[in-house]
Chains A and B, each alone.
Chain A
Amino acid sequence: MPGPTTLERLYDEQAGPLFAFLLNFTRDEADTRDLLQDLFIKLAREPGRLAGVREERAFLMRLAHNAAVDLMRRRAARDRTRDALAAEQNPFAPADDPDEQVFRRELSVALGELPADQRAVVHLKLWEGLTFEEIATVLDLSPNTAASRYRYGLDKLRGRLRPLYEEIQ
């Protein structure tokens, strides 16, 4: 019977990556908190959900992604300006070096300009280190779709960040 200890362990092991993913996906810290809290309430209410799950993180990422997509669909109907604001929410840690800080801010803006489905794939590939097969499982896609979305997203990031990237190099 999963109890508070299990929930705490889950939080300690999974909440950080889930937070980063949700923040990059929603670009809103308040939404990210709500989604994360709802996810943990669901897990507490239905502990059987994790019974027999081998890849806890992938499973939780999938739950989180589905919840975030639902939230964004509801939001899209009444708040069209949110996409424009998305780029301003920086999902990266601040840097001491000013050049690096500029790079991170530009990367955040460039990521915010990507469609959410490409942004999700890019995040899971680069910052979670998942394979395309794993990404396909999390996002309920084919591996080929995941790979093509990654390539499209990365090409846009490269085009957007090339001047800055070359300058820093």
Chain B
Amino acid sequence: MNEFEQRLRRVPVKPIPAGWRAEILAAAVPARPATGRGSWAGRLNGRWHDLLWPHPKAWAGLAAAWLVILLLQVSQQEGTPARAAKFAPPSPEMLVELRQQQQMLVELLGPFELRDADRVRTVAPRTQRGLILMG
């Protein structure tokens, strides 16, 4: 700090008017919150204020932007054709088509029944085959 700065620094600032103390404190003290819930809410409010300060509007804007993005995302997912098709009931034309295909498949394959030997092989493991034959 040079000489000029030192010179300025030595100039005393005006003191606060003495009468202000009583007036300002008299105005401030009734604004104190009551004990209990009020003070807890006040502390919480203070914490939020400290966290968001000095740009609460910027933080609020950011939060709003995220909310809009989230809502858009959800609304787009609900509106996709794949999702809509998944939950839509089949139309009568589609049901008729499916029945026709099922009928055609039955006609092509004919009556189908498993032979007894095949049925045993599919039901029992190799180690139990003797027991089945005996029974």
Which A residues lie at the B interface, using CB under 8 A? 1, 3-4, 7-8, 11-12, 15-16, 19-20, 23-24, 33, 36-37, 40-41, 43-52, 62, 66, 90-93, 103-104, 107, 126-127, 129, 140, 154, 157-158, 165
Which B residues lie at the A interface, using CB under 8 A? 4-5, 7-9, 11-16, 20-21, 23-25, 27-33, 35, 39, 42-47, 49-50, 54
**B-side contacts of A8, CB under 8 Å:** 25
**B-side contacts of A3, CB under 8 Å:** 32
Residue pair B14, A15 in contact (C-beta under 8 Å): no
Residue pair A16, B32 in contact (C-beta under 8 Å): no
**A-side contacts of B21, CB under 8 Å:** 11-12, 15
Q: How far is the CA of A121 from the CA of B46 in the complex (A)?
A: 27
Residue pair B47, A44 in contact (C-beta under 8 Å): no
Tell which of B8, B13, B49 touches A91, judged by Cβ atoms closer than 8 Å.
B13
Besides A11-B21, A15-B16, A48-B43, 14 more A-B contacts (Cβ < 8 Å) are A15-B20, A16-B16, A19-B15, A19-B20, A33-B20, A45-B32, A47-B33, A47-B42, A48-B44, A49-B49, A126-B8, A140-B54, A157-B8, A165-B4
**What are 16 A-B residue pairs whose CB atoms fall within 8 Å in the complex?**
A4-B32, A7-B25, A11-B25, A15-B20, A15-B24, A19-B14, A23-B13, A41-B31, A46-B49, A47-B33, A47-B43, A47-B46, A66-B54, A90-B14, A127-B9, A140-B54
